[in-house]
Amino acid sequence: MNEAIKISSLKKSYGTHLVLNGLDICVRQGEVFALLGVNGAGKTTLLECIEGLRKYDSGNIAIIGKVGIQLQSASLPGHMKALEAVKLFAKWNKVALDNTMLGALGILDFSQKQYYQLSTGQKRRLHLALALMRNPDILFLDEPTAGLDVEGRVSLHEQIRQLKEAGKTIILTSHDMAEVENLCDRMAILSGGRISFIGTIKQLNETVGKHYTITIQTESGTGKYASDNIGETLLALLTEYREKGETILDIQIDRGSLEQHFMKIAKGE
Ligand SMILES: Nc1ncnc2c1ncn2[C@@H]1O[C@H](COP(=O)(O)OP(=O)(O)OP(=O)(O)O)[C@@H](O)[C@H]1O
């Protein structure tokens, strides 16, 4: 598959604080790609470097296609009506209004409302519409569903899926693993200035999926055991408990949620 973005040896510091320490990432055309990491890991910094909004110290970023950006903390003048903003952006970009796109994003429902009157979800949809104005090939979404209720989230997910179907490459940051699992083809986890994992959800599960926690409850207490080989460990534990003459009351085997796996990798454990 062709590349939409190719990043090599990217470094960025704020003063003495090294935030991106030599990143190599390829994003393929037409995929939904997530950037993950704990607060302060450098996701926004990386996005802004790719978008050309922030200078980086060294390395290379190649972008193949037209870019649209939805910033995390975008804002418009409070008294500007939604439709006025849309018309202004269309004029700037020298494009005709795309009523189909505006209708699909639900902008026409609140087009006469002033910006300050819009809900968080309506603002997000408006900013997405503005980002789509130039009909970009590559779309950057910085935490697109943060602060949205369930309905807003579901509707934005549907819009992102439709944009993918229309052939767009989408790069988003998120803290929500369920969202990433639902929407994204691949992801990169940033940790300590480096990429600690890059791949699909399936590959993430395969990488970390063999770490089990076994909890065994007996009359004399509860024992917790970590294992990479569930069959062997369980057999050894059962034999040990039998030899000690302890009656097992309950056994629980926990494979860990995707969220837990992510946190371990993101924290560099
Ligand atoms: N303009 C700046 N000047 C100095 N330091 C900054 C600046 N912007 C970000 N940083 C620092 O760089 C690090 C990475 O910040 P960044 O916002 O890129 O992280 P993030 O992963 O997007 O975090 P979050 O999940 O909280 O949005 C943080 O330690 C932050 O304090």
| ipTM for this model | 0.97
Cα of 267 vs centre of ligand 1, distance in Å, is 16
Assessment of whether the complete model's pTM goes beyond 0.95: no
Tell which CATH classification among 3.40.50.300, 3.40.50.10490, 3.60.15.10, 3.40.190.10 matches the domain 1-65+165-199: 3.40.50.300
**Cα distances (angstroms) measured from residue 218 to each of 71, 225, 230, 242:** 54, 14, 19, 11
Which residue, judged by its Cα, is nearest atom 3 of ligand 1?
A: 14
Does residue 40's CB lie within 6 angstroms of at least one atom of ligand 1?
Answer: yes
Cα of 139 vs centre of ligand 1, distance in Å, is 21
Does residue 43's CB lie within 6 angstroms of at least one atom of ligand 1?
Answer: yes
Which ligand 1 atom minimizes the distance to the CA of 44?
Answer: 22
Which residue, judged by its Cα, is nearest atom 25 of ligand 1?
A: 39
* pLDDT tens, N- to C-terminus, the chain (269 residues): 699 999 999 999 999 999 999 999 999 999 999 999 888 899 989 999 998 989 999 999 999 999 998 876 778 899 999 999 999 999 988 998 888 888 888 899 999 999 999 988 889 889 989 998 888 999 999 888 887 888 888 888 888 999 999 999 999 988 888 888 889 999 999 998 999 999 998 888 777 766 788 999 999 899 999 888 888 999 999 999 999 999 999 999 887 667 777 777 777 76
Which residue, judged by its Cα, is nearest atom 9 of ligand 1?
A: 45
Question: Of 59, 12, 60, 6, nearest to 171 (Cα)?
Answer: 6
- The terminus-to-terminus CA distance of the chain in angstroms comes to 32
Q: Where in the chain is the domain with CATH 3.40.50.300?
A: 1-65+165-199
Q: What is the dihedral of CA 50, 56, 61, 66, to 10 degrees?
A: 30
